[in-house]
Amino acid sequence: MRLFQNSGLYPSYLAYLNRLARDATSFAARLSIFMEDRFGALHVLEPVLEGAPEAFFTNADDEILQRLWAREHGLPVKATLEDILLAQIEQQRTEVFYNSDPIRYPSSFVRRLPGSVRTALCWRAVPSRTADLTAYGAVLGNFPTIADFWRKQGCRAELLYPAYDPVMAVYGTGERPIDVLFVGGYSRHHRERAKTLESVATLARTHNVAFHLDASRLTRLAESPLGRLLPLGKHRRPPVIAEIARSAVFGRKLYELIGQSKVVLNGAIDIAGRDRGNMRCFEAMGCGALLVSDDGNYPEGMQNGVTIETYASSADAASVVSRCLGDWPRHAEIAARGRAELVARYGKSRQWQDFLAIVAQV
């Protein structure tokens, strides 16, 4: 089966990748640097990670990457990114197209796919009321509530979970000098998350707390010297957070930080109701940290007091984290069980077999 997997990049990660791959002058070289950095690897299917000849991967919104491929294959300079993606699919004679960027490439794109494509699937783990994804054979995601949303939009929807990245095994085998780590977005849309961060940030008085925040453009503007002269107060981070905030991290640098942390704090952003299990949960457990996250309905293997710890509210978060650190030997055992459970339940081979089962059904 000839598999084509397309993904997309956060703007902040793309800027980081541009620095990481500044000397790459070919499609293969830039893609190799990206794959080695492991950004989003929990969603990358096993044949792609293993470099199988029948599998092709690209980030179609990475214009530098795509234009390198276009130049190497004689496409016109004025070719659009959509034209380049279609040319890649046609050249590979793709049979299964798996797209993690369906808002950019919705049903109108699927209808342009070459005849070799037997099945088109997409990943979309958030609701998008204006997007038409009905031409895809199925919309995949790991939240049952979001799957129900897509079914109501006229799509077939199936569950597929992130998978343990095998390179995580080399992280988190030594000391863990960071007591509490949070890595994620911060904006006015993350109200509950902001309350949780503000609560846990108070622990920095007595513990090593590291917040690596991907702040929104408005937040960065509001905290700039010019922004402080403007009525943008609601976009500024509270002083207790701003004092310990550091820049965002991605890929292997994220794995490294998690591997140095006792507790990884997580918080949902209310897009999936009570469903839980965002990618940070898998990353934290995979690198051996104790996941402390908000109460809700978690995937199998993520159980409060057994493999993870949960808090009932943002006000409760600091006390839960403090309790975990105060009895660290016991909670280190919970973290170790969590890692073992994740490896056993959510391996790459299982993810690939689940994907194949979905392909066979649509």
Residue type, 345: R
d(CA 130, CA 213): 29
The verdict on 316 and 276 lying in the same domain is: yes
Asked if residues 346 and 282 have their Cβ atoms less than 8 Å apart, the reply is: yes
pTM above 0.75, yes or no: yes
**Rounded to 5, what percent of the chain is helix, strand, coil?**
45, 15, 40
The verdict on 132 and 189 lying in the same domain is: no
Report which of residues 214 and 272 the model is more confident about.
Answer: 214
The verdict on 340 and 194 lying in the same domain is: yes
Max Cα distance, the chain (Å): 63
Backbone angle region of 277, left / alpha / beta, with phi > 0 → left and psi within -120 to 50 → alpha: left
**pLDDT per position as a tens digit, 239-286:** 898 889 999 999 999 999 999 999 999 987 666 678 999 999 999 999
Could you tell me what percent of the chain has a pLDDT over 70? 98
The verdict on 200 and 119 lying in the same domain is: no
The verdict on 174 and 39 lying in the same domain is: no
Asked if residues 258 and 287 have their Cβ atoms less than 8 Å apart, the reply is: yes
The verdict on 32 and 76 lying in the same domain is: yes
**Domain ranges, residue 156:** 3-163+347-361
The verdict on 217 and 95 lying in the same domain is: no
Q: What is the CATH number of the domain that holds 203?
A: 3.40.50.2000
**pLDDT per position as a tens digit, 56-83:** 999 999 999 999 999 999 999 999 999 9
Q: What is the CATH number of the domain that holds 101?
A: 3.40.50
Q: Give the model's confidence band at 222: pLDDT under 50 very low, under 70 low, under 90 confident, else very high.
A: confident
The verdict on 309 and 178 lying in the same domain is: yes
DSSP states along 268-308? --SSSTTB---HHHHHHHHTTPEEEEESSBPPTT--BTTTB
CB neighbourhood size of 96 (10 A): 22
The verdict on 9 and 124 lying in the same domain is: yes
The verdict on 146 and 232 lying in the same domain is: no
State the sign of the Cα–Cα–Cα–Cα dihedral 351, 356, 357, 359: positive
Number of domains in the chain: 2
Residue that has been written with the tokens 């109200």 in this structure: 191
CB neighbourhood size of 72 (10 A): 11
- Judge whether residue 233 has pLDDT over 90: no
Q: What is the mean pLDDT of residues 306-310?
A: 98
**pLDDT per position as a tens digit, 341-354:** 999 999 999 999 99
